[in-house]
Chain A
Amino acid sequence: MSQFDLVVIGSGPGGYVAAIKAAQLGLKVALVEKDNSLGGTCLNVGCIPSKALLHSTEVYQEALHGKKHGLVGAEKLTFDVSAMLANKDKVVAQLNMGVGALLKKRNVEIVRGLGRLVKSGQVLVRSTAGDRTLETKNILIATGSVPIELPFMKFDGETVISSDHGISLKSVPEKMVVVGAGAIGLELGSVWARLGSQVTVVEMLPSIGGPSYDADVAKAAQSAFEKQGIKFEMGAKVTGVKKSPAGSALTAERDGKTLEFPADKVLVAVGRKANTSGLGAQEAGLKLDERGRIVIDAHFQTNLPGIYAIGDVVAGPMLAHKAEEEGVAVAENLAGKHGHVNYAIIPGVIYTDPEVACVGLSEAEAKAKNIEVAIGKFQLAGNGRAIASDCTSGFVKVIACAKTDKLLGVQMVAKGASEMIAAACAHMEYGGSAEDVARTCFAHPTVSESFKEAAMAVSKSSIHSL
């Protein structure tokens, strides 16, 4: 007689959402969490705190440049890092409580401790308060991921730091080098750059943002960040950190030449890796792939019967919303329904200013698939709201199938791109065409109209561009 229908290990966005959904569908659920606070990486050291910091620093920057808006003495504005961190902590705490409340409302039992697989149907939870074995019909592993550590420059929490530290620095580093020009590196780099740090981003690939963005999009974003004082060293491979009494420096190599970047802090943001530590995966015989990710089938089932896995610990984009979608889908499956995740329409966002966002295929990806594309672009500089709100940096790009006009992908550099991309996702979910977007009414004046104009531009019928 199982105690539970489902035990979820990990209370991040994948885990807690799966737990809530399963409970909504009538399952008896327990959620195991090893940390003091619920919400996993996203809530505690990832998405949420970084967004809080980005907002605080954005407010600071806007105010600093507020003279033209009538702010007097704006240029003399100063900043209190501890207050910013306190605010961030408050935001995180509020959401910790919120997640707890949601779980409690659905009668999900929260079990504190490190969850470990014993065998199918059993999870052992170890904590300082003792051990507890949970009997369950199904187990869902949602143990997430941890920052990748470069073996030749391990995290020391002082000089070489990960994003975990990068969101809680007590003071503004004079010089910060960011290794990796992905979302995390760009976001945290932005935060400290806005507060006065000299930030240099060192990236191995030729363009920022990762492979999902087209070159023109990455270039526009990079250009915008450069204007904010961030330096970019592209195509440079990091080789190590030199520590000396005079200070530290990051060493890198490009075209056979050695480069050195002095830094007080080196933020390593080269990606994250699946986390199965403490799970007893090996002993239980859980199959992992060459990157340490749990291998699952199309129904999130691992090689062990009754054991499932979702989120960052399995393959796929390491995004909180991807984990959430999978959480809902696996819960629906377990409840005998038909869960489904549309992996083709998962948006990606970089929460800098301007934001960068994409969904679907990039132009390059479409071309690589031999799809003939029709492109529509619209510069934000032509958008009334962008002009009125001082956010004319960027553009929206619509990638449509030349034959059927179907939306294949949308990419944008724009303030509010994170919100705007939702419209693109919605249209694409229904198999919408660029013309459908063009014939949808968007409120005026909004920056979103740039999406509509870019869609019109696919058929060369944009109204607000020359």
Chain B
Amino acid sequence: MAVEVKIPPMGESITGGLLAAWLVKSGDAVRKGQALFSYETDKVTSEGTAEVDGKITIAVEAGTEVLVNQVVATIEAGAAGNAPSAPAAAAPAAAKTASTAPAPAPKAAPVAAKSGAAAEVSPAVRRLSAETGLDPAGVEGSGKAGRVTKGDMLAALAGQTPIRAVAPAAATPSSATAPSAPAAPVSIPSRDGRTTRKRMSPLRRKIAERLVQAKTETAMLTTFNEVNMAPVMELRKRHGEEFLKKYGVKLGFMSFFVKAAVQAMKEVPAINAQLDGEDIVENNFFDIGVAVGTDKGLMVPVVRDCDQLNFAGIEKAIGDFGKRARDGKIQLPELQGGVFTISNGGIYGSMLSTPILNHPQAAIMGLHNIVERPVAENGQVVIRPIMYLALSYDHRIIDGKEAVTFLVKVRQFIEDPQRLLFGV
């Protein structure tokens, strides 16, 4: 019969503490009354003991913050366990004597991954943070030892005090899901109802920061070209059904543009470079970001090694990103490390635009909507499905000639995809 091992209640005011150390190992045989773990609260260090004989299985690691009555292990009553080896330094000081050691400030305590709601925040600040999405960590605190008070929050919400760009919850290590804006910021109408005010979400703040950075730190220009989409459309018509059947994913335009861009980058390597301080770093890989719009903002997940993926691989990757972006399940690493970005404003109806660089990348290509236009071909006026292409580039490291040539090549590869096949 499994008996739960719980954190014992210690007194009215104690709700939890730190499970400091296990005195036994998972699988050990334990006896009734045996000390199992040491547990520190801000008033006293104490031990948890076994209530029955049996074999213990530890459920919560040492060094974890725990609550009173939380189950931290189970003992299979009566089961034979391993003979306990020398128990981990069983601090005798951890005896039940009330050693009023000052509270070890829970260092590296798993501060709530929820943005802002740190345990140390006052109740009113907590409530405001939950309601408005404003992270107290970004607010200047005027309380004791810099604590953020309710007044500080109110002032920040009213825009009277600046809010520090907090490394968004997305910046916390691996497991953080970027972007995690758990509470949608609340819109606060002004007294006369003529305006409403809503705090920027951490994602939007970050995007804004980077957009401004792109504009102020780079010499950004845009060059344009147009491309006849008929050949691609014809290929899609011809092979689309079989493609879908074989790969389970539609043959879209994107894979063509990705492949075209990769090839063009190989021929104009300046496009696949970055400025790092005073060094120009040329990349020998082709991780290409494909912009996806979500209702929380634009996201650019990166398809890795596009030179090594076939059309199906690219379409699959893009399709997966699209779905996960809409579900808010893109992980932060997936947004990082791209060398080039393709953004399609055409799906929203954009005819022509000047995309903004996805810093620190040197170039970004913008796709637009396909419009049947009258064009001259061999002296004749014909109707072709035309897409305008835009390439914004950082003129500090990409010359006009390189940028124009890149775009011309993309056009060539799109208008004659066989070139991709033959590498010409």
Interface, chain A (partner B; CB < 8 A): 401, 403-406, 429-433, 435-436, 438-440
Residues of A with C-beta under 8 A to B143: 430-432
Contact call B144/A435, Cβ cutoff below 8 A: no
Query: In the bound complex, do residue B150 and residue A404 qualify as a contact, i.e. CB atoms below 8 Å apart?
Result: yes
What is the interface of chain B mostly: helix, strand, loop, or mixed? helix
Of A432, A439, A440, the contact of B149 (CB 8 Å cutoff): A432
The docked-state distance in angstroms from the alpha carbon of A405 to that of B152 is 10
Closest chain-A Cβ to B136's Cβ sits at a distance in Å of 13
B213: Cβ under 8 A from any A Cβ: no
Q: How far is the CA of A435 from the CA of B149 in the complex (A)?
A: 11
B residues lining the A interface (CB < 8 Å): 122-125, 127, 142-144, 147, 149-151, 154-155
What B residues does A406 contact at CB under 8 A?
149-151
Instruction: List the A side residues contacting B144 at CB < 8 Å.
Output: 429-431
C-alpha gap A223/B147 in the complex (Å): 41
Contacts of A405 in B (CB 8 A): 124, 150-151, 154
Residues of A within 8 A of B127 (CB): 435, 439
Beta-carbon contact of A404 and B151 below 8 Å: yes
Known: A403-B154, A404-B155. A431 touches B149 (CB 8 A): yes
Q: Knowing A403-B151, A406-B149 are in contact, say whether A430-B124 is a contact too (CB < 8 A).
A: no
Given A430-B147, A431-B149: A440 in contact with B154 (beta carbons within 8 A): no
Residue contact B147 to A431, C-beta cutoff 8 Å: yes
Do B154 and A435 touch (CB < 8 A)? no
- Name the one of B123, B142, B147, B154 contacting A439, with C-beta atoms under 8 angstroms: B123
Least CB distance, A421 to chain B, in whole angstroms: 18
Q: How distant is the Cα of A178 from the Cα of B13 in the complex, in angstroms?
A: 45
Contact for A404 among B122, B123, B154, CB less than 8 A? B154
On chain A, the residues within 8 Å of B125 by CB distance are 436
Question: In the complex the two chains form, is A435's CB within 8 Å of B123's CB?
Answer: yes
> Are A404 and B149 neighbours in the complex by a CB distance under 8 Å?
yes
Which A residues are CB-close (under 8 A) to B149? 404, 406, 430-433
* B124 nearest CB neighbor, chain A only: A435
Could you list some 11 contacts between A and B, CB below 8 A?
Answer: A404-B149, A404-B150, A404-B154, A405-B154, A406-B150, A431-B142, A431-B147, A432-B149, A433-B149, A435-B123, A439-B123
CB pair A401–B123 under 8 Å, yes or no, is: no
Query: With contacts A404-B151, A404-B155, A436-B150 known, what are 19 further pairs, Cβ within 8 A?
Result: A403-B151, A404-B150, A406-B149, A429-B144, A430-B144, A430-B147, A431-B142, A431-B143, A431-B149, A432-B122, A433-B151, A435-B123, A435-B127, A435-B150, A436-B125, A438-B123, A439-B123, A439-B127, A440-B123
A401 touches B151 (CB 8 A): yes
Q: How far is the CB of A23 from chain B (nearest CB, A)?
A: 21
CB-CB under 8 A from A403, the residues of chain B are 151, 154
CA distance A436 to B147 in the complex (A): 13
**Shortest 5 CB-CB distances between A and B: which pairs?**
A404-B151, A431-B143, A439-B123, A435-B124, A433-B150
Q: Kindly state the separation between the CA atoms of A432 and B122 in the bound complex, as whole angstroms.
A: 8
A24–B122 CA distance with the chains assembled, in angstroms: 33
- Chain B nearest CB: distance from A402 CB in Å? 11
Q: How many Å lie between the Cα of A403 and that of B153 in the bound state?
A: 12
Q: Which residues of B contact A431 (CB under 8 A)?
A: 142-144, 147, 149, 151
Cα distance A432–B125 when bound, in Å? 10
Q: Write the chain B residue with the least CB distance to A427.
A: B122
CA distance A370 to B183 in the complex (A): 37
- B residues in contact with A439, CB < 8 Å: 123-124, 127
How far in angstroms is the closest Cβ of chain A from B146? Answer: 10
Assembly CA distance A439 to B123 (angstroms):
6
- Minimum CB distance partner of B143 in chain A: A431
Closest CB in chain A relative to B83 CB, distance in Å: 47
Tell me the minimal C-beta distance from A376 to chain B in angstroms. Answer: 14
Interchain CA distance A436-B143 in the complex, whole Å: 13
Closest residue of chain B to A401, judged by CB?
B151
Alpha-carbon distance between A435 and B131 when the two chains are bound, in angstroms: 15
